[in-house]
Structure formats: structure tokens, C-alpha cells
Chain A
Amino acid sequence: MKNVKIYTLSTCPWCRKTKNFFTEHKIPFTFIDYDLADEATQNSITQELDASGATGFPFVRINDEVIVGYQPERYAKALGI
């Protein structure tokens, strides 16, 4: 089972679509809504974003692969489904 971690914004419709994708495909995932997180968590997330050159959400990490943006075909490929 691949480890799926998602960073999202509660105001972002593409983040909702992303979470729906993994839910509909019955892929377990963890997520953090950046805008609802505490300052320390936000700082940690922005470091991860900066390290991968990401500027927006959704931010998806499937094992070691980072996919930025709502890209269902890439999620499927990374998951092997």
C-alpha cells in the first residue's frame, strides 16, 4: 500500500476534487488543510512546498513522488491503478 499525504486548502475546489479522487478509489490518505493548521504546521508545509518548487495547492505526495495540482491521471499512474 502506497503512502499518500495531501496538503490542501479548505477554500480550494481542486483540493476537494483531489480528496474525492482518493476516496472514490478507496485509497487511504492523510491530509492537512493548510489554512486551518497552526503556525508550526504551516511553516513545515511551506518548507516542503518550497523544496519541491510548488506554489499552490493541492500538493500530493505518493510515497516519494510529489504531484502538484489536480492531476487525476498522474495520481492513477503513481498509484498503479
Chain B
Amino acid sequence: MKESSINVESRKKALHYFFSKVVDPLGFKFTPDEELMNFLLEQEVILEGKHGIPFCPCQPLRHNRSRDMQIVCPCIPFHRKHFDSIKRCWCGLFVHKDVFDPDKLPQLPPEEANHE
């Protein structure tokens, strides 16, 4: 195994550990889709290597610090109402704790989500 791939894997594990501590009290957990979880964590490690911060892989960097800080993973606190209503975060790395089949959760934008 190459050194770079070892670093990516170890960083993925570290992010997994840190993120789980943050999202658990918010009522979220990692998606049970392990392939998706691994892919997203790997993208975040790449983004962290490029920008110094593990940004969401599915939201755009706007080069505006206050806006970009709102997509630092886990970005749940900044989008709580929206993500609670769709039971997942935008990229799907995290789902509500009561979700066991994430494929059934549509990726609805805020204006289409049911904010109750």
C-alpha cells in the first residue's frame, strides 16, 4: 500500500471518529450505506487536503468565508430545519438515527422539503 493511501485511510478514520461525536447529540448517525460513506469521507479528505477544511462534497464553495463555513462537515447545525425535514444531510453522509434504508430518502432542496 502506498503512503498516500495510508494517510487517506487514517484521516478517514479520524474524521469518522470526530464527526460521530458531533452528530450523535444532534440525532444523526453515519449512513448505513458503507460504500457511500467511504466515498464521501474520501472526498472530504481530498477537499481537506486542498482547502485545509473538510467541506461538504455536494455543496459549492463560494469563496465567501461566512458562507463557506456553513458547509464545513458536519454542516447539520447550519441547516438543521432542512436536514431534519429530509432526515438526512445534503450529501447523505448522515441520516437520522431512525433511518435504516437511506435509499428511500429523496434529496430535496429546502424549498421542497416539508419544514414542520
- Spell out A's residues near B (CB within 8 Å): 9, 11-15, 34-35, 42, 45-46, 49, 53-57, 68-71
**A57/B59 in contact, CB under 8 A:** yes
- The number of residues on chain B lying at the interface, defined by a beta carbon within 8 Å of a beta carbon of chain A, is 24
The yes or no answer to B91 lying at the interface (CB within 8 A) is yes
Query: Which 6 residue pairs across A and B have the least CB separation, nearest first?
Result: A69-B107, A11-B57, A11-B43, A68-B109, A12-B58, A56-B59
- Spell out B's residues near A (CB within 8 Å): 36, 39-40, 43, 46-47, 56-63, 90-92, 106-112
Once the chains are docked, how many angstroms separate the CA of A12 from the CA of B43?
Answer: 8
Once the chains are docked, how many angstroms separate the CA of A35 from the CA of B43?
Answer: 13
